[in-house]
Structure 1
Amino acid sequence: MTPAPPAPPRPFVIGPYRFANNLVLAPMAGVSDRPYRALCRRFGAALAVSEMVSCDTSLRGSVKSVRRLDFAGEAGPVSVQILGTDPGAMAEAARVNLGHGAQIIDINMGCPARKVCRVAAGSALLRDELLVGRILSAVVQAAAPAPVTLKIRTGWSPGERNALAVARLARECGVSALAVHGRTRACNYATPAEHETLRNLRSQVDIVLIANGDIDSPQAARRVLDSTGCDAIMIGRAAQGRPWIFRDIAAYLATGAIPTEPPRDWIRDLLLEHLTGLYDFYGTWAGVRIARKHIAWYCRGLPGAAVFRDSVNRSDSTLDQRRKVMAFFNEHPEREDEAA
């Protein structure tokens, strides 16, 4: 029997923006570029946050930064994540991004990457609540009237969880929404995400809350929403190679029915469309190389995927890459668990 759908969630609103649903694509460096954001938005992500943009002015003219500041034709509201440790530089980065078309500024205090934390950025900032407050105040003031959001982990380590203190700081500084990944920086991705922290924050801080971490299925999405009372959920790694997960989650939350997996030829055609978007955005040389990880994600679970990845990763032209993708999907139409 199909379970009854839950009561409709309260509206998901950030500043002046009211969203069609409460599903958010997480910012992912090297992944959530403009072509990928467009696909996820098409499949139901109400908000798609950009890759992080460093506030380091020496990088502002780099090819990578210029591409990340390119929002041409992107459906709004456009949310851009900025990264840094200096309040003044972060404020200037907010102004620059708004000048390029951003409508929401997101602050990264959650990235666990070693190269980011080594310079005291990302989740390393959680160890200095005084600096956190200075950065939040500076960015909120610089961005006004555009809303500012914040993404954090639950703390630096299991013994130094301070998400509640940071949430209170965010509220006091005028941050419009807070996304919490349910792990500490020390946990990286090695332990299951916990969302009890979100439930605690919900009862103590009046701020829009977004849950993130291990939300990898419609059932997990519903469980996290029901258990935490948060306003929205943020999907990251689970959407890699599967941008239609937003459609599946939205359908399940609305009806309680578990969506069926899409046909393999449909996935093939979507991947080919994604490849075209990457080639157009990055150019053929870079597009072919950036596409390799996306191809691997789309092909997860298909028999012969390991051998195929080794072959397609040697492709250095769009024609050869597309030809190999088409051949692989046509030769291996079933997943391993279905073929068994």
Structure 2
Amino acid sequence: MAGVTDLGFRTVCRELGAGYTVTEMVSAKALCYQDKKSLPLLQLGEDEHPAAVQLFGSDPYCMEQAAGLAAEKSGADILDINMGCPVPKVANSGDGSGLMRRPDLAVRVAEAVIRGAGGRPVTVKIRLGWDKGSINCVEFAKAMEQAGAAAVAVHGRTKTQMYAGTANWDHIKAVKEALSIPVIANGDVFSAADAVRILRYTGADMAMIGRGCFGNPWIFQQAAAALEGREIPPLPPLAERCDTAVRQFTLSAAQKGEHIACLEARKHYAWYLKGVPYAGYYKEQISRVSTLADIYRVTEGIKRDLSDEAGR
């Protein structure tokens, strides 16, 4: 979710029903070295509660120091340790899901973050294991509980799977049955119906939506309606969806600067147009935007040319 769940996108998701949000991953080492690029990642919205700062790293001393810094700078309600990131440059260096190959070290990391958290709850996100031959999520999650974690989130894939194939919810169910602390289910929640199914199937306490919200922050209000037995609201008209996208990019530009926000908007806006008929022409224009003025211009074209077509 790096480069996705910035303050602008989280703000939009909260407005559309997300009950709990988590920052992008923040490097503990970068925080300890007072890296100027990392500090803005800790910023939460004015009303962004409950919310967590997500830390990654594998050095217990550094993680403890980073936890204290993150808690102080962000005001977050919860600190989350990412022990599930499968990206090679993270996992292969022993961080993220690399910690699942070293449970003893992972326990020391969790204990260190808990010490540094200043009384805030500490949660841990994991995967099923490194690969299908070393699935250890149940034992690993139990170790996190014993270390003092307040909750565990489980993504139903191994590290080597990355995001391929289908998430295995059976293992999430097994983790839930083995733990007394809350378990958060994650993996292949792309619709309101998926949110209902993963919770019923696994018995988990919460559903975490990751890739399913790319370009679709409305999934949160749809999932909430489905879980409450209400009628699922449809996606709004394309023009309104574009306005939401522009609001997201404007918020992001205010936080991180127009240039960076617009570069990141290229992928986000393409996600917002996924499945829209005849959107290829505008996706090609979006791939070159570099200013908010570019985004406004493209948006006007989309509203003029595609909104009627998408509504048919």
TM-score by length of 2: 0.95
Aligned pairs, number: 311
- CA drift at 1:256: 4.8
What letter corresponds to residue 188 of structure 2 in structure 1? D
CA distance in 2, matches of 1:258, 1:69: 33
Is 1:331 the counterpart of 2:305 in the alignment? yes
Q: 2:177 aligns with which of 203, 206, 214?
A: 203
Identity %: 37
> Greater relative contact order: 1 or 2 (C-alpha under 8 angstroms, separation 6 or more)?
1
**Residue equivalent to 2:108:** 134
Per-residue displacement from partner, 1:212-268 (whole Å, max 9, x unpaired)?
000111111111111111000000111011111100010111125333222112112
Write out aligned runs for 1:154-193 (5 A): 154-193=128-167
Per-residue displacement from partner, 1:176-203 (whole Å, max 9, x unpaired)?
0100000000111111001111211222
What letter corresponds to residue 43 of structure 2 in structure 1? D
CA distance in 2, matches of 1:45, 1:311: 30
CA distance in 2, matches of 1:62, 1:331: 44
**Residue equivalent to 1:147:** 121
- CA drift at 1:70: 2.1
Q: 2:51 aligns with which of 78, 92, 112?
A: 78
CA distance in 1, matches of 2:199, 2:178: 17
**Residue equivalent to 1:87:** 60
CA distance in 2, matches of 1:175, 1:58: 22
- CA drift at 1:102: 2.3
**Residue equivalent to 2:203:** 229
Q: Secondary structure of the equivalent of 2:183? A: strand
**Residue equivalent to 2:21:** 48
Q: 1:43 to 1:58 in 2, by over 3 A?
A: closer
320-329 or 167-176, larger mean C-alpha shift:
320-329
- CA drift at 1:313: 2.2
Q: 2:276 aligns with which of 302, 316, 330?
A: 302
Q: 1:334 to 1:160 in 2, by over 3 A?
A: farther
CA distance in 2, matches of 1:145, 1:58: 20
Q: 1:58 to 1:79 in 2, by over 3 A?
A: closer
Contact in 2 for aligned 1:199/1:227 (Cα 8 Å) = yes
**Residue equivalent to 1:99:** 72
**Residue equivalent to 1:62:** 35
- CA drift at 1:71: 2.5
CA distance in 1, matches of 2:49, 2:148: 22
TM-score by length of 1: 0.87
**Unpaired stretches in structure 1, ≥5 consecutive residues:** 1-27
Q: 1:215 to 1:177 in 2, by over 3 A?
A: same
Per-residue displacement from partner, 1:146-200 (whole Å, max 9, x unpaired)?
1000000010001100011111111111100100000000111111001111211
CA distance in 1, matches of 2:108, 2:31: 23
**Unpaired stretches in structure 2, ≥5 consecutive residues:** none
CA distance in 1, matches of 2:290, 2:235: 31
Write out aligned runs for 1:251-330 (5 A): 251-330=225-304
CA distance in 1, matches of 2:212, 2:168: 16
326-335 or 295-304, larger mean C-alpha shift:
326-335
**Residue equivalent to 1:18:** none
CA distance in 2, matches of 1:305, 1:252: 30
CA distance in 1, matches of 2:119, 2:4: 29
CA distance in 2, matches of 1:125, 1:62: 24
CA distance in 2, matches of 1:264, 1:72: 26
Structure 1: 4+ residue segments shifted above 3 A: 57-63
- CA drift at 1:117: 1.3
Per-residue displacement from partner, 1:250-304 (whole Å, max 9, x unpaired)?
0111125333222112112211211211221222222221211111111111123
CA distance in 2, matches of 1:37, 1:150: 20
Q: Secondary structure of the equivalent of 1:79? A: strand
Q: Secondary structure of the equivalent of 1:211? A: strand
CA distance in 2, matches of 1:46, 1:258: 17
- CA drift at 1:33: 0.8
Contact in 1 for aligned 2:19/2:50 (Cα 8 Å) = no
Q: 1:318 to 1:183 in 2, by over 3 A?
A: same
Contact in 1 for aligned 2:128/2:136 (Cα 8 Å) = yes
Q: 1:111 to 1:284 in 2, by over 3 A?
A: same
